[in-house]
Amino acid sequence: MITVIIPAVLRGLCGGTAKLVIAATTVDGLLRAVEERCPGFYDRVVEQGHVRPELMFALDGEVVPLALHDTLRSGAEIAIVPAMAGG
């Protein structure tokens, strides 16, 4: 089970819910499962078969780019955040 924090600007799609616990093993699986509870969510995060280039994921204390096929370990907590770059 993965805990996903819904970005604040998308919580309206989820009836205001900020956090969901989802059974999923990949990023794509996770996003599609969230879509079922929050219609319209998937297309806000995915464009033309890729995670939007301006988005990343906060996972285990890091901000990382993930692809749709990347696997997630059970018990992970993940948030979708603006892409961060260093200098």
Tell the residue number behind the tokens 């993965």, with chain if given. 2
Edge-to-edge strands of the sheet including 2-5?
Answer: 19-22, 2-5, 77-82, 55-59, 62-64
One symbol per residue from 1 to 40: x for binding other proteins (CB under 8 A), - otherwise; what is it? ----x-xxxxx------xx---------------------
Residue 23 or 83 having the CB closest to other proteins = 83
Q: What share of the chain is helix, strand, coil (3-state, %, to 5)?
A: 25, 30, 40
Coil, strand, or helix at residue 66? Answer: coil
**DSSP letter (8 states) at residue 25:** S
State yes or no: residue 54 binds other proteins (CB under 8 A).
yes
Contacting residue, 24, 38, 45, 72, with other proteins by CB under 8 A: 45
Size of the site for other proteins (CB under 8 A): 36
Residue 33 or 66 having the CB closest to other proteins = 66
Contacting residue, 14, 20, 63, 68, with other proteins by CB under 8 A: 63
